[in-house]
Structure 1
Amino acid sequence: MAIWQTLAAQKRDSIIAAIPQEWIIPSIPKVEEVKDITGGYIQQFLSPKEIEITETDAVDIIKNASTGVWSAVEVAKAFCHRAALAHQLTNCLHEIFFEAAIRDAEALDALYSQQKPLGPLHGLPVSLKDQFHVKDVETTMGYVGWIGTHEGQKNHPKHRVYESEMVGELRSLGAILYVKTAVPHTLMSGETVNNIIGYTLNPKNRYLSSGGSSGGEGALIGARGSPVGFGTDIGGSIRIPAGFNGLFGLRPSAGRLPYEGMANSMDGQNTVLSVVGPLAPSAGGLKLVVKSLLSIKPWLDDPMVVKMPWREEEGNVEGKLTFGVLRTDGVVGLQPPVRRAVEMTLKALVEAGHEVIDWNPPSHKNVNDACLQTWRYDGGADVLAAFALSSEPMSTQVQQAYGRGQQPQFDATAIAANNVRVRNIKKEYMDYWNRTAAITRTGRPVDAIICPLAPFAAARPEGYKYYGYTTWVNLLDYTSVVVPVTNVDKSVDKVDDMYVPLDGLDKEVQASYDPELYDGAHVSVQLVGRRFQEERMLAIAEITAMSLKSSK
């Protein structure tokens, strides 16, 4: 066995060893035996009280924890237990620190006994993607070569003693931190897989991916092992796991929430910035944590955060709205369940009295090509160096981007040229959006765009071949919220034999759809707004969700 394999196995075993013995599932069923581990399957291992707590929305957890209905300790223990079960069934965790979480919960209960709730997140368990540094907890980001180091550097003074800025902010607000979740090594994949924990499965349909790169967050929250968690997004990495797991997810504009002190790939590439944002089973859960973080002025801790407090008035969305609908980007078409979800969404909004118009913007292919260029600035040097630390192999999913080895790096002139291209694209798209005011009933430009987040409800393993439905949002730095719509129904979402593929890639994507295999999977859409419209887009997401619920 190679050294990297031994290190990976030891790390993998240590995660299981951190789970109390009484929470170990005696026999893990094969995918063929249990396709869906949510709901009744995972509930069989929990007490009625644990089920009640873990299936409560973050907003109501706060109500119960801050009024003494539930203690912080019993909430923390319930989510620790369910997170342990979720990991055994889906491979969604990189780090477990339950004992520290219980100690923090005990301290919160002691404060509460003195009528001193710590903050607006008092007693709320919050999970974190394994890019956050947490004291006394390792950060591997899926790399074997990072085990026992600080971001690959041995004997570094920050190793296991340093915390990312948001970690300290969440603690000060009363949140309980207890796990860090799985990512694909490099972070640059819509599927979560690495040589430490293997492949992270979708809890609703374990034949499918949980998404990536915040796939551990998606799987954990999808299995209700967390009420809310934080991921990051540079090409869809919050929105993809949210959509694949039937969750709400917010991709804010860069500079709205603090990123300071987090591990990352391609650090220093500033044309398209990775952003941090939450995932939760409800839009209310997203609003709760974003509003709480902004209440403590994160721009004082992170120089990249814009001084922009929570703007309640921006979230007061009333009257009729106008939505643009993007049914296809002209590069890859949608599989039948996704087409149905888009049509369901616009139908529900029209029934609620809102207007929907076709969205025919400037070429998305041009937008996405410019985005792809930014990820090639260093020719793969950063991620290749991380793999070289242990000589571990790349996953198949990552090989399509980095498998050719070191490529030519962009010089300053080439980077500047791409930045000019990006600026021009942003202006062109802004002008198109502004011109829609001339054709809407409201006389305003379109309020939000209804858009797929992927051509499929979820990717099959090694099947995420096209990212164009999410990456355009990153290049334009728009605000986006994912809204769950429906589930795949094999009796309705049949293969479309009349569909004519646009090219070989489209043909491959369409061929990957199997109604029987996909049956039951979550199907979602994303709502896209302009930059720094987080309050407004969260409100529009709630309006959309309510319209879907009320739709005929």
Structure 2
Amino acid sequence: MTEDWKKRAEVKRDAILAAIPKEWRIENPPNEKQVDVTGKFVQQFLSEREVEITETTADDIAKHTVSGTWKAEEVTRAFCHRAALAHQLTNCLHEIFFDAAIADAKALDEYYAKNKKPMGPLHGLPVSLKDQFHVKGVETTMGYVGWIGTFEGKTGTGKEKKFESEMVKELRNSGAVLYCKTSVPHSLMTGETVNNIIGYTWNPKNRNLASGGSSGGEGALIGLRGAPVGFGTDIGGSIRIPAAFNGLYGIRPSTGRMPYEGMANSMDGQNTILSVVGPLATSVPSLRLVMKALLAQKPWLHDPLVHEIPWRHEEERQILEHTGAIGDASKIGKLSFGVLRSDGIVNPLPPVCRAVDTVVKALEALGHEAIPWEPPSHKTLLDEGIKTWFFDGGTDLKSAFALSGEPMAEQISFYSSPSLKEFTASQIAATNVRLREIKKEYMEYWNSTAEKTSTGRPVDALIAPLAPFPAARPKMYSYYGYSTFVNVLDYTSVVVPVTMVDKWVDRRDEGYRPIDDTDKKVYESYDPEIYDGAHVSVQLVGRRLQEEKMLAIAEYVGKALGM
């Protein structure tokens, strides 16, 4: 059994590499010899034209391809090349289907030549997908050896390499070009990306660190500009963690805003805290572009869990008027922000504290206000929320690993504990009731901030860490509270890149007194020498279903920071 799963994993791993054209193969230097593989390092393997294309944001690429000034085929080939390089440097891909993508791009160019118009708003735009999406012609393994050659671990379904997820259809209808699927941690339940097929996915900016998880392949790929925009999923931070670790923008929408129908998942049927799908990219306009394109497809007609909420321009307009981007001067007013500097459970590390301060100072300098965020207990919220990921006692995950006999990665070994027991229906119901009470309490706290702001409105957004560290060191991601509280509340959250770690500025406090052992473990993981040059980000949190508003605020904050 042991040799069998190892051999199957090796064959799959080799097949991924074999899909890369020989002329795109490179020697991958050891991590310690080349820590940062972004920028000039990866550019040396590309032509000037390929660099120009791949370092253009998704929204600007679409302007070129929709207008016909750039050919879809040329754009697709450039991103296929850079994605191939990204995989060799970081282990970020599970599936490569460049030939199919180039054929699709050629068809789009032919359509444009014949009809003198684009296929849709994403005409010719390459889009990468986390390996939860089903795409015709390729597998979905989700990092499980036992899923190789099957449909979600089952054979004889008739869906193997034939079925497509709803969002995949909608992306194609919008004119997007799909060309690769990105790596995930098997189980999806960790902030690092590691599995027995492709190994560990490294952070391209600092290969001492994790790319994040569970959409870690997306983070690494887009961080290396191997994709202009891609889609991940988030049940505990899995879009925002890779976005933050790789210096990207990423949005965790509220449940029911984006279509999830027909995607593979772990613990499917656990509906208390749902996984959501959302984009990661190098700019806010890129996130907005793909979300608007998908909503224009009316996904609520094909996904029973999607709300019938088209894109709401008025929600954006309010922020644009308050910040003076549009409208007359009489409507310019200040925004108010809550600031969560610590949740009282684990304190953020020095670079993250500096990033929060940087955002606050930039906004205050523009005339906006920031008030301390003193919400109901996050510990109570997290203790209750984490139960949902153990409702089935680990049965789903254990059965997936049993298909091949492969071992669980150390990062998720807690799921193998024999002490895990399935919750009863009554226990699940009680958890649901308690979570509803917690959401109500937090809602009323947010409402109460109107009494503390000079605007007379509750705060417009919350500035908070996304993780206690800029990125995790391998096997050292020990606290998820800053990302998961958002999932428990089902709030909207957008990650904004802020700065880089500077070992001379972000020094350790040798006299630091930890809150407890968990806080101590996080603080002891920080080494300024190892982290030097890593991305540092924050998240901007809004209430439920405030995607348009939060993207507008995130774009404004990004510009204020010069990002």
TM bin, normalised by shorter chain, reads over 0.9
- Name the residue aligned to 2:449: 436
When residues 301 and 102 of structure 1 are mapped into structure 2, their CA distance, relative to the original with a 3 A threshold, is: same
CA deviation map 1:371-395 (0-9, x unaligned):
1001111000000000000000010
The answer to whether the 8 Å contact 1:384/1:406 transfers is no
Q: Which amino acid is the alignment partner of residue 30 of structure 1?
A: P
CA deviation map 1:252-282 (0-9, x unaligned):
0000000000000000000000000000000
Using structure 2 for the length normalisation, give the TM-score.
Answer: 0.97
CA deviation map 1:437-489 (0-9, x unaligned):
01100000010000000000000000100000010100100000000000000
Deviation at 1:499, TM superposition (A): 1.8
The answer to whether the 8 Å contact 1:92/1:219 transfers is yes
- Name the residue aligned to 2:364: 350
Q: Determine the C-alpha separation between the residues in 1 that align with 2:558 and 2:60.
A: 18
Q: Determine the C-alpha separation between the residues in 2 that align with 1:405 and 1:46.
A: 51
The answer to whether structure 1 residue 140 and structure 2 residue 141 are counterparts is yes
Deviation at 1:68, TM superposition (A): 2.2
The answer to whether the 8 Å contact 2:450/2:458 transfers is yes
- Name the residue aligned to 1:246: 247
- Name the residue aligned to 1:407: 420
Q: Which amino acid is the alignment partner of residue 52 of structure 1?
A: E
Q: Determine the C-alpha separation between the residues in 2 that align with 1:340 and 1:116.
A: 48
Q: Determine the C-alpha separation between the residues in 2 that align with 1:200 and 1:509.
A: 21
TM alignment of 1:28-107, pairs within 5 A: 28-107=28-107
Q: Determine the C-alpha separation between the residues in 1 that align with 2:285 and 2:511.
A: 41
The answer to whether structure 1 residue 532 and structure 2 residue 545 are counterparts is yes
Q: Determine the C-alpha separation between the residues in 2 that align with 1:406 and 1:302.
A: 37
The answer to whether structure 1 residue 422 and structure 2 residue 406 are counterparts is no
Q: Which amino acid is the alignment partner of residue 190 of structure 1?
A: G
TM alignment of 1:472-511, pairs within 5 A: 472-511=485-524
Deviation at 1:535, TM superposition (A): 0.2
- Name the residue aligned to 1:125: 126
**SS where residue 446 of structure 1 aligns?**
coil
CA deviation map 1:174-212 (0-9, x unaligned):
000000000000000000000000000000000000000
Q: Determine the C-alpha separation between the residues in 1 that align with 2:158 and 2:112.
A: 36
Deviation at 1:547, TM superposition (A): 1.4
Q: Runs of at least 4 residues of structure 1 off by over 3 A?
A: none
- Name the residue aligned to 1:230: 231
- Name the residue aligned to 1:108: 108
Gaps of at least 5 residues in structure 2 are 323-332
Deviation at 1:407, TM superposition (A): 2.0
**SS where residue 224 of structure 1 aligns?**
coil
TM alignment of 1:20-31, pairs within 5 A: 20-25=21-26, 27-31=27-31
Q: Which amino acid is the alignment partner of residue 76 of structure 1?
A: T
Q: Determine the C-alpha separation between the residues in 1 that align with 2:562 and 2:118.
A: 35
CA deviation map 1:26-58 (0-9, x unaligned):
x21001110000000000000000000000001
When residues 10 and 303 of structure 1 are mapped into structure 2, their CA distance, relative to the original with a 3 A threshold, is: same
Deviation at 1:406, TM superposition (A): 6.7
TM alignment of 1:136-535, pairs within 5 A: 136-316=137-317, 317=319, 318=322, 319-399=333-413, 401-405=414-418, 407-535=420-548
Deviation at 1:296, TM superposition (A): 1.2
Q: Which amino acid is the alignment partner of residue 543 of structure 1?
A: Y
**SS where residue 371 of structure 2 aligns?**
strand
Q: Determine the C-alpha separation between the residues in 2 that align with 1:137 and 1:428.
A: 46
CA deviation map 1:125-172 (0-9, x unaligned):
000000000001100000000000000002221111000000000000
Using structure 1 for the length normalisation, give the TM-score.
Answer: 0.99
**SS where residue 484 of structure 1 aligns?**
strand
Q: Determine the C-alpha separation between the residues in 2 that align with 1:295 and 1:313.
A: 16
Q: Determine the C-alpha separation between the residues in 2 that align with 1:504 and 1:257.
A: 39
The answer to whether the 8 Å contact 2:67/2:118 transfers is no
Gaps of at least 5 residues in structure 1 are none
Q: Which amino acid is the alignment partner of residue 459 of structure 1?
A: A
Deviation at 1:66, TM superposition (A): 1.6
Deviation at 1:505, TM superposition (A): 1.1
**SS where residue 414 of structure 1 aligns?**
helix
**SS where residue 562 of structure 2 aligns?**
helix
Q: Determine the C-alpha separation between the residues in 2 that align with 1:110 and 1:410.
A: 56
- Name the residue aligned to 2:330: none
**SS where residue 113 of structure 1 aligns?**
helix
Identity in percent: 67
**SS where residue 396 of structure 2 aligns?**
helix
Q: Determine the C-alpha separation between the residues in 2 that align with 1:329 and 1:40.
A: 39
CA deviation map 1:484-519 (0-9, x unaligned):
000000111111123210011111110111111100
Q: Determine the C-alpha separation between the residues in 2 that align with 1:285 and 1:370.
A: 35
Q: Determine the C-alpha separation between the residues in 1 that align with 2:444 and 2:489.
A: 13
Which is further off, 167-176 or 111-120? 111-120
CA deviation map 1:507-535 (0-9, x unaligned):
11101111111000000000000000000
The answer to whether the 8 Å contact 1:380/1:405 transfers is no
Q: Determine the C-alpha separation between the residues in 2 that align with 1:430 and 1:251.
A: 18
CA deviation map 1:357-414 (0-9, x unaligned):
0000000111111110011110000000000000000101011x31314721111100
**SS where residue 390 of structure 2 aligns?**
coil
Q: Which amino acid is the alignment partner of residue 537 of structure 2?
A: S
Q: Determine the C-alpha separation between the residues in 1 that align with 2:262 and 2:496.
A: 30
The answer to whether the 8 Å contact 2:92/2:217 transfers is yes
Q: Which amino acid is the alignment partner of residue 419 of structure 1?
A: N
Q: Determine the C-alpha separation between the residues in 1 that align with 2:67 and 2:519.
A: 54
The answer to whether the 8 Å contact 1:488/1:523 transfers is yes
The answer to whether the 8 Å contact 2:66/2:117 transfers is no
Which is further off, 121-130 or 405-414? 405-414
Q: Determine the C-alpha separation between the residues in 2 that align with 1:406 and 1:382.
A: 16
Q: Which amino acid is the alignment partner of residue 334 of structure 2?
A: K
May I ask how many residue pairs the two structures share in their alignment? 548
Q: Which amino acid is the alignment partner of residue 164 of structure 1?
A: S
